[in-house]
Structures are given as structure tokens and as C-alpha cells.
Amino acid sequence: MAAAALRFRNRWITLTNGVPRTRARPVGIAISAAAAVLAYCLPAAAQVNGLADHPYLGWSSFSQQTLSPNFLTQANITAQSDALATSGLQRHGFNYINMDSGWMGSFDAYGRPIPNPAIFPDIAALAAHVHANGQKLGIYWIPGVEQPAVDANSPILGTPYHIQDILVVPHVPGNAFSAGQFPPYHNKIDFTKPGAQAYVDSVVALFASWGVDLIKLDGVTPGSYNDDLTIDNRADVQAWSTAIAPSGRPIWLTVSWALNEDYLSTWQLANARRIDEDIECEGRCPTLTDWPMVTERLYDLVAWENAAGRTMGWNDLDSLDIGTSQDSGLNQTEQQAALTLWAMANAPLYLGGDLTKLDAAGKRMLSNDEVLALDRSGHPATQIQGGDTPVWMTKLDDGTVYLALFNMDAIPLPVSVRWRDLGFTAARQIHDVWNGNDVRPSSPSLQALVAPHGTRLFRVLATGKPPAEAATSYEAEGAVRGGTAVVFGCPACSGGSKVGNLGLGPNNALTFDAVTVARAGIYKMTVDYASSLRAVLYSVNGGPWVTLNVGGSSFNLPVSTTVPVALQAGTNTIRFGNPTSYSPDLDRITISGDGSAVLPIATAYEAENAVLGGAASPSYCKLCTGASKAGNLGNGSGTVTFTNITVPADGTYQLEIDYLTSGQRSFFMSVNGAVAAELPLNGSTFDHPATTVVPVKLHAGDNTIEFSNSSQYAPDLDRIVIAPCTNQERH
């Protein structure tokens, strides 16, 4: 998000506290489903220029601005440019230096933004310095016209018109930052009026005269957590895209942030679009970012995986806050996982920390030319498997396959993938990209141990084509609806319909009661859904709830994710819902395979769906799994008791505890009624889960674990995860 987030922080907090607008809105959103499909399916338009055959690499100031509010100055941008030039990363393609919000001071005689001379005394000289370092300069702006320029009613350069001649009358908000403000501070431009395009042309021409090479247009709607079509910046994006060619300078255009995918036909007029919220904690943690902010992109990217390329533009995942472990908020393993995801997505790679503090490990990571080439391959990856151990794959023009295995849990886990699920039968050669060694090919699958919050990236030379697997689809509208569940029209969905109004109650569920397979085994279940960042829980044959966290940016365009499920021979029942939070809308499920898939070895249990005692209660939690947590714990009252924790044998297991707290608090944990042991924990926010892992002794069969605190308030609790101790190395 950026600039305006800093300048209008109170407004932004008001918009996003609690349940964001995009999550609270009813299924029938402001545009018709047919219109959304039309917007998505229009023929692909070329990007604004030929500049973006590949995503760019560089640096942006905004992340550091969230830690140091006075960071954005000409002196500091110059220092960052010099640090990049001496870091060695420029040899590997990192060459953009982007200024975010806060550079502007006032307006010139033509109503165009000009720098604050106190902090940017000579922006043209800054651009010249950046260019002399062999780099490119980026700048930030927003749609609409700010009130001081409106009040001045300046003439528009080269026209007989003035600023007030081109505005919507009466004045209305011109971007997401001014939503709900009347009179608005940012005023909407009416691009049907003469002079409107000329005004944008003049702003872009001014930027070009300074030597600007990139423009980030922020606060764009539909998106930026606001789908109010009275704002609707699609015409602005078209105008800014149009203005670049006559500027005489090849300028990259990025539009931002958390854009609605229904309008891809407009977003692809830019070179890239931000598909998610800011990655920065922005005060919710003491560092640039944290792991929960990275995981959000792993969920949301699935919806956009087929919406990127050389003609459509690139999916921008926001700043890559790695390379500076001192303030990143991500450990080395998590930084590597983030870089792998960005590279597999073919996302722009722009760093967010202080480049003068780049550490040796960060430089080594960011100098891996094979990973950087993967980012610039022009082949964005697609998700093969979802859940807590997602698998992503891309295939290059020469047939080379890259395979990324992720582990969302804080416990080391083996992740398995069958070659047949990737579209081939065997691997002739496997290379472990990050570890730099070859792996002995195996058949019919690959299994690799993945570190907590980590990744493994493999380059595979594949051979053979497997036969098609049997698959049966079951439409959501044909399943048994309970509670508030209702069928909605959805032209892009299978069968033209979907089921919404799921979740927020145990009975608001959807049950597929005739899922039939020939023999017992582990099958693949593909869930087609439409959603923003939410979670659906499913239960197979009356068993425990399993959480499937999903993301997206449209309730009109279905998205698919695949997880393994254990089915019995004959007829099975699969129930979907979310007792305590918002569920995605469901289109259909598809069961495929012959029963030989593999279940993960870890089992997660949601705290909000456990037995809550005393004052304990569930509440919405955007970044928690299941989109909920259990709060009001401890203080002699609130307890969470997990029952039916089932393990196959007596022994010591790994117990991951995902909790939330601001400051130090303690749980007292009792296993199977034994004396409770204290777990002192620390954290920085009740919005972002933190994790700890402890050993726990369990007996074969069902176990009970209780969390309490008889004298003090305890942390909020997101979930626990149980897994066997995994010490053996796999590939």
C-alpha cells in the first residue's frame, strides 16, 4: 500500500480493523457475475510498453519507512543506490531504486505534484546519480487530484482547461485512501471530460523529465480493500498506461494494491499488479515483516497463478524483506522460502530493508543466478498440492521442471509428491537447487524433508507421460445444504452455480453424501472455490475437522486447490463448513486417483473448535489458520481442551503451538490430566500468530491436552500441530 498508508494511517486502520470489507461483503457484490466473467475473459491486451518481458529486480523504500518514518530523503535514497552498487547484487540484475510515499511537498503551476524541497532538494540530480550507478529510479503516486491542487484550480498544461474542469461533480473520492471522506481529500477525475487525459499526460511527462523509470500507482480500486464502484480507478489505470508512450521514456507501471481479479482486463494494461495487502507489519511487529505475512501470499497467489505472463503483466507480491536478518522478521529458512515463492511466481523482486545492512548470507541467497533466472523465465508456477505442505511446479520451454515444496508448519516434515501428479512418469535427473547437489532419481515419487517454514527447490529432467486418472466431480449445488447455505448463480463456475453463506455456525455447512470410490485408500480431492483470504474446514465420514486455508480476490472466479483425503470403499460423506469464521463459496469437489496418494504425517487441531471452558471464546483472526482463534484464556477461567488427539503408538511427539500475545504471557499445559507445566511465551501482537515447538509424550489412541492459566491472562491460541519426531534425512 504505501504512501497514503503513512499519510492517512488512521483512515486505513478504520478500513481494515476487524473483518475487512472484502471479507464481510455479501456474496452478491457490486458487479454482476456475468460482468465479472466478461471483464476477466476479454482478449489479453499488451502491457503498457515492451519494458516488462521479465519482472524487474531492485529495492523499494516503503518497508524501511515503516520502521523509520523519516527515512525517505534524497540523502537516504542516494545512500541506498550506492549500497546497491557496491553490494554485488547489481551484477545479478538488481537495478531499480524506488521511492515510495512521502516525497511530494506541493504542486506546480499546472497542478502537478512536486517534491518537498526540505527532503528532496533536487530530484533530477537524484535520478542522475541513480542512473550514473547503472540503476533506474522509481516513484510513487495515486489516482485523483489532491485538494490543494483542486483549490488552486491550476490550468492543465497545453490545454484551455483547468483542474476543476476535469473532476466528477459533485466531488467524490478519487482512490481508496479517501473512501468515505466527504468532501474527499483526493478528488476523482472524470475521464469523459476534455483535459482529463492531458492532465495525466502532463504528470507523467513531468516524472519523465526528472528521469523516472517506474511509477507505482497506489490506492487503486476495485481493490485496496475497497470495491466501491463509485471510486473505480480502472479509467485512471487506462489513462496512466496511455500517458507513458508520449512521455518519450520507457517507464514501468505497477498498480497497487490487493486488486480485485474480476478486472484483470484493465490491470494487465500495467506491467504488474499488486495482488495482496502490504507485507510489512507496520507497527504490529517490531520488524519489517513476519512469517504470517508471507504465508498469506502462498494462499492468495493460487487465484492469480494463471493471470501472469509477458502480455498479461506480472503478479506483484510486494517487497521481499530479506537479506537483512537484523530487522527482516524472517529467519534464514523463511527468507529462502519467500525468495523461492517470489521466483516461482515470476514476481518482481524488490528488496525492502536497509541495503547498507545487507548481510553475507543474504547476499549469497540473492546471488543464486539459477533462482533469479527462474524468476525471469516467463513461466509462472502453478500449485499442484495445497494444505500445510503446498507444492508448486513450473515447466520451461525446454521441458525442464522446477518443483518447490513448502512447509507451512513450524515442525520439520517430509513432503511427498508423485511424478504422475506432475504429468510425467519418471525423473532422469534431480538437482537440489538451494543445496547445490544432485539427488538420486527415485520412482514413482519424490520425498524430501522440509525445514520448519522452509522450502526445497528441485530442478527435474522428466520423462514419460502417465495415463489419465479416473476422476469424479460433485457439484456443490447438488450437495446437501444446511443452515444459511444457499445456491448463487456463478457463470464462471462449473454448472453455472456455487454455494455461499457457509460458515459462521456449525450448521451452516455443505455435505457431499454420495462420494463413491471402488476401494479404500488415499485419494486426491480438488476443491473449487471462490473467495478472499478465508478458511473452509472439512470432515470425512464424521471424522475430525481438517482445515483448508485458501485465498483469492474474487467471488466470481473459481480457484482450485488439491489435498489428499482418506476414503473408504463404497460411499463416503464429506462435510464442509467453518463453525467459527467465514468460509469460501464452494463450486464443486473432484475426487481422483487410485487410492495411492499420501497423507501428511502432521495433524492440526484448531483451538476455536476445541472444548472451550469458562470465559474462553472464538474470534475472527485474519492470519490465523481457520481464520479464527480462541481468546479470553487464563485469568483463572478460560481454558482450551483438545480431546481425541490420536496417535498410533506410545512415544514422544513434536507439539507445535501457534499462539498470539503482545508481551510475555504463559500457558499451563496438562497432558492426559497430568500436572500442568508452564510454557512462558512472548510476542508482539494479537493479530499475527507466533509459534513454539515442544516435545510431548502421548500414548497410543486418544489423548487430551489442556491449556490454562489459573492466575494470569494467557496468550490467545490459534491451533496445535502434532507430528512424529522426524530425524531422518530424505533427499
Q: What pLDDT does 727 receive?
A: 61
Query: What pLDDT was estimated at residue 47?
Result: 63
Residue 533 has pLDDT above 90, yes or no: yes
Q: Is residue 515 part of a domain?
A: yes
Assign 3-class secondary structure to 404-439. Answer: EEECCCCCCEEEEEEHHHHCCCEEEEEEECCCCEEE
pTM over 0.85: yes
Average pLDDT for residues 113-125, to the nearest whole number?
Answer: 98
Residue 102 within a domain: yes
Judge if 608 and 572 occupy the same domain: no
- What was the pLDDT predicted at 601? 95
Domain C-terminal end among 347, 377, 407 = 377
Mean pLDDT of the chain: 92
| Digit-coded pLDDT (tens) for 297-311 | 999 999 999 999 999
CATH number for the domain that contains residue 555: 2.60.120.260
CA distance 121 to 106: 13
| Residues 245-297: tens digit of each pLDDT | 999 999 999 999 999 999 999 999 999 999 999 999 999 999 999 999 999 99
In this structure, the answer to whether residues 253 and 125 fall within a common structural domain is: yes
Output the domain CATH number for residue 278.
3.20.20.70
Q: Is residue 364 part of a domain?
A: yes
Radius of gyration of the CA atoms of the chain, in A: 26
d(CA 664, CA 650) in angstroms, rounded, equals 33
491 and 444 inside one domain: no
Q: Where are the beta strands (DSSP E) in 451-553?
A: 455-463, 471-475, 480-481, 486-489, 497-500, 510-517, 521-531, 534-540, 546-550
Per-residue pLDDT tens digits for 5-24: 333 222 222 222 222 223 22
Query: Is 41's pLDDT higher than 90?
Result: no
Same domain, 12 and 112: yes
Q: In whole angstroms, give the CA distance from residue 265 to residue 270.
A: 10
Mind listing the pLDDT tens digit for each residue in 707-730? Answer: 999 999 999 999 999 999 976 444
Residue 176 lies in a domain: yes
The model's pLDDT over 374-409, given as tens digits with 9 standing for 90+, comes to: 999 999 999 999 999 999 999 999 999 999 999 999
Would 328 be classed as within a structural domain?
A: yes
User: What CATH number has the domain bearing residue 448?
Assistant: 2.60.40.1180
- Count the alpha carbons within 13 Å of 414 in the hemisphere toward its beta carbon: 16
Considering only CA atoms, which of 340, 92, 83, 693 is closest in space to residue 332?
A: 340
The pLDDT value recorded for residue 39 is: 37
* Average of per-residue pLDDT across 354-371: 97
In which element (H, E) is residue 646 found?
strand 639-647
Query: Do 250 and 260 touch, CB atoms closer than 8 A?
Result: no
Instruction: Report the pLDDT value the prediction gives residue 244, as an integer from 0 to 100.
Output: 95
The percent of residues above 70 in pLDDT, for the chain, comes to 93
The boundaries of the domain holding residue 673 are 603-724
- 3 state SS of 38: helix
Least confident of 12-16, 512-516, 603-607: 12-16
* Per-residue cell: 177: 485512501
Judge whether 24 lies within some domain: no
**Which of 592, 611, 646 is the C-terminal boundary of a domain?**
592
What is the mean predicted confidence (pLDDT) over 466-489? 97
Q: Which cell numbers in the block locate residue 320?
A: 521481499
**Would the pLDDT of 2 be above 60?**
no
Both 522 and 650 in one domain: the answer is no
Residues 198, 269: one domain?
A: yes
- Of all residues in the chain, the percent with pLDDT exceeding 90 is 89
Shared domain check, 315 and 355: yes
Q: How far is the C-alpha of 147 from the C-alpha of 185, rounded, in Å?
A: 5
CA separation for the pair 661, 238 (Å, rounded): 44
pLDDT of residue 14: 25
- What confidence score (pLDDT) does residue 388 get? 97
Q: What are 480-496's pLDDT values in tens digits? A: 999 999 999 999 999 99
Mean pLDDT of the region 166-170: 97
Asked if residue 21 is part of any domain, the answer here is no
Chain mean position to CA 308: 15
219 CB-near residues (< 8 Å, 6+ apart): 1, 4, 142, 143, 175, 176, 177, 186, 233, 256, 257
The reply to whether 660 and 552 lie within a common domain is: no
Residue type at position 484: T
Q: Which residues of 55-73 are buried (b: 16+ CB within 10 A; e: fewer)?
A: bbbbbbbbbbbbbeeebbb
Check residue 48 and give its pLDDT.
Answer: 65
| Grid coordinates of 61 | 523504500
If you ran DSSP here, which 8-state letter would residue 69 be given?
T
**Both 233 and 364 in a single domain?**
yes
Whether 695 contacts 669, CB under 8 Å: no
Number of domains in the chain: 4
Same domain flag for 360 and 505: no
Say whether pLDDT at 113 is over 90.
yes
The stretch 412-440 carries a mean pLDDT of 95
pLDDT at 45 over 60: no
The per-residue pLDDT for range 53-97, each reduced to its tens digit, is 899 999 999 999 999 999 999 999 999 999 999 999 999 999 999
Give 433's pLDDT tier (boundaries 50, 70, 90): very high
Q: Are residues 571 and 663 in the same domain?
A: no
Sorted by sequence, the CB contacts under 8 Å of residue 9 that are 6+ apart come out as none
User: How many helical (H) and strand (E) elements, i.e. helices and strands, does the chain have?
Assistant: 15, 40
* Domain termination residue (choose one: 592, 626, 652): 592
Instruction: Clarify whether residues 245 and 103 are in a common domain.
Output: yes
The dihedral sign for the CA sequence 431, 432, 436, 437: negative
Please report whether residue 30 resides in a domain.
no
The pLDDT, as a whole number, for residue 255 is: 97
Task: Over range 32-38, report the average pLDDT.
Answer: 35
